[in-house]
Amino acid sequence: MKRKIRKITKKWKSYPTKYRKSIKHSRFYRLCFLFKFSIIVKTSEYRQVNKKGGYFLVVYKFLCTISLVFVLFGLVISNVDIFEELKIIIISPDYLITDYFEIAGIGGAFLNSGLLMFAFICILKLLKINPSGVSIAAIMTIGGFALFGKNIFNVWPIVIGVFLYTIMTNENIRTYLYVALFGTALAPITTHLVLKNCINLNWIGLLFAILIGFLLPPLASFALTLHRGYNLYNVGFTAGFLGMFLGSILKAYELHPEPRYYWHTENQLLLSIFVYSLFYLILLYGLKLNNWSFSGYKNVFKYSGKLLTDFVLLENEAITFINVGILGLLGTSYVLLIGAPINGPTIGSIMTLAGFGALGKHPKNIFPVILGTIIGALTNSQAINSAGMVLAVLFGTTLAPIAGEFGIIWGIIAGFLHSALVMNLGFLHLGMNLYNNGFSGGFVAMFLLAIIDAWKKLKEAIGEKLRRFVKMGSD
């Protein structure tokens, strides 16, 4: 172990001085580098216990099962026109908020979601990715947003653009794989630019959509340094910037999309039973893997949740599935308790909340942020069960690491600020960044980190002056 630490330190010192000197981000780079090393060590230890790669198979089976459940549920509850529903989903504009349940049908929406999840799982398998917490977060987020914005057509130009960047820069395609997966937040841009009159392809628009994907990797790497990993939806923050510039260009040339609002409110009993059953079964599966106990679950509470806190690698898959199931049940219960409907966007937000239960979120660090967002919802002009506020509460947990690192008070403040800011950013990207809460979360994290750093310095200065004053008095 000591030899490995010496080797990793030597490699760190070999990096160019500009990355290690007094620039404020240098400490962050080093922490990320050392954390990557700890992940490698942890994974190697885990492989010694699971020589046959059992845990990789468990995660793959878990993800495949969720995609299969979505496909089967869509087929069972749909009518004979399910493929017509799928066609409507593909050709319809799908920027925020476009509930596929409302514009097409529940069956078509779940079929679209299940197929899209399975397609990305196949990509992970083809690239021989060892799945972990980030894989669970990415696939479940894609599945959730495939109910209100992503479909089996509009995600691929973004993915192609990211892969093209890796080829052009001689990078390993797996380096930016998860940027490609999360980068599908900009999928509505593809529909808007590529599908003309719903049937004809706009090839110039297609090239432009690929260019947007091409720009994601360098921007995502830089965006991470701005919030230092305290905004879990980092690619959402990046996509917000890209969407902002694109939206401005489109609006300048009067090519911008018209506002949309589709919000499904029917079939509540059926959808509630399905979502509760899904996460209850995930919880039971985790308990089964953990010998039918919650032993070790409290270990996740010691992590702040800052990127990248991968619970599959830091703990194990059983604890991760337990956490995913609990967060999914909590999110579903919240939606129903405030009288909001279970629909495409709310299921998407619950899926994302639960998915990131494998990558940083847990009940302890999300509670202060949710409380702060609820306080904002109760005191501002928006109804607490309005579409914007429901999504803000659930997606606002992107700021969970702030509560995990700096405490309950700062978590509540983060949630409160997010509840106000998120309602005023969508117009910048015209709803074409599906991760609008990630965009808001990045700004809140940047703002609060500066305030927190200043507050710490102020406390230290005041404390030093008080100590000097007391010392002078004693003399």
**Nearest partner of 173 among 184, 185, 165, judged by Cα:** 165
Residue 30 pLDDT more than 70?
A: no
| Cβ–Cβ under 8 Å, residues 123 and 135 | no
Q: How far is CA 459 from CA 27, 218, 369, 447, 464, in A?
A: 22, 37, 24, 19, 8
* Average pLDDT, integer, range 190-204: 77
Residue 182 pLDDT more than 70?
A: yes
What is the Cβ-side half-sphere exposure of residue 101, based on CA atoms within 13 angstroms?
22
Band (pLDDT 50/70/90 cuts) for residue 467 is confident
Query: Residue 6: in which H helix or E strand, if any?
Result: helix 2-13
* Average pLDDT, integer, range 46-72: 77
Strand-pair partners of 98: 262
Instruction: Please give the pLDDT value at position 160.
Output: 97
What is the Cβ-side half-sphere exposure of residue 11, based on CA atoms within 13 angstroms?
11
* Average pLDDT, integer, range 397-411: 96
Q: In whole numbers, what is the pLDDT of the chain averaged over residues?
A: 87
Give percent above pLDDT 90 in the chain.
73
Q: How many CB atoms lie within 10 A of CB 106?
A: 25
Instruction: Please give the pLDDT value at position 265.
Output: 95
Instruction: Please give the pLDDT value at position 39.
Output: 39
Residue 471 pLDDT more than 80?
A: no
Question: What b/e string do you get for 274-285 counting C-beta neighbours within 10 Å, with b at 16 or more?
Answer: bbbebbeebbeb
Instruction: Please give the pLDDT value at position 53.
Output: 52
* Average pLDDT, integer, range 18-47: 39
Instruction: Please give the pLDDT value at position 186.
Output: 95
* Alpha-carbon dihedral sign for residues 91, 97, 103, 105: positive
Round to whole Å and give the CA distance between 295 and 401. Answer: 24
Residue 361 pLDDT more than 50?
A: yes
* Average pLDDT, integer, range 412-436: 94
Q: How far is CA 118 from CA 64, 67, 172, 349, 402, in A?
A: 6, 6, 23, 19, 33
Instruction: Please give the pLDDT value at position 196.
Output: 62
Band (pLDDT 50/70/90 cuts) for residue 46 is very low
**Secondary structure of residue 346 in the 3-state scheme:** helix
Q: What does the DSSP assignment read for 210-262?
A: HHHHHHHHHHHHHHHHHHTT--S-HHHHHHHHHHHHHHHHHHHTT-PPPP--B
Fill in the amino acid letter for 47. R
More confident residue, 53 or 355: 355
| Cβ–Cβ under 8 Å, residues 239 and 183 | yes
Strand-pair partners of 196: 200
Q: What does the DSSP assignment read for 125-176?
A: HHTT----HHHHHHHHHHHHHTTTT--TTTTHHHHHHHHHHHHHTT--TTTT
Instruction: Please give the pLDDT value at position 290.
Output: 95
Q: Is 224 left (phi over 0), alpha (psi -120 to 50) or beta?
A: alpha
Residue 465 dihedral angles phi and psi, to the nearest 5°? -65, -40
Instruction: Please give the pLDDT value at position 36.
Output: 40
What is the Cβ-side half-sphere exposure of residue 66, based on CA atoms within 13 angstroms?
32
Could you read off the pLDDT of 78-133 as tens digits, one per residue? 877 888 999 999 999 998 999 999 999 999 999 999 999 999 999 999 999 999 99
Could you read off the pLDDT of 246-268 as tens digits, one per residue? 999 988 988 888 888 999 999 99
